[in-house]
Structure 1
Amino acid sequence: MAADLALLSQDILTVPAQALPATRSVLTVVDGEIVFEDPELAATGQFK
């Protein structure tokens, strides 16, 4: 399964290499449906 959209916690193209392991998935969309939403973000209701 490939994601349509994966929103990450930081820009992996510009952060220093040593910061990459701290990158988290914030939101993942597959077939137009949200299949993962960071629990902290879900509490805000921002993406509903």
Structure 2
Amino acid sequence: MDNKAHRKISLRLLRKQYQNICIDTKRISQRLSRHFTTSCYRYCYK
């Protein structure tokens, strides 16, 4: 498996993970740090 394909798969998994985190943390987003929230939404709504 070449590096590019591997990175693509990793990114897809990461995005899926972030989506789950997003769904779980939307209600408590006020408590999250700004950076994490930004990353979260960037992955969720790309």
Does the pair score TM above 0.5?
Answer: no
TM norm structure 2: 0.23
TM norm structure 1: 0.23
Flag the structure with higher strand content: 1
Higher relative contact order (Cα pairs below 8 Å, separated by 6+ residues): 2
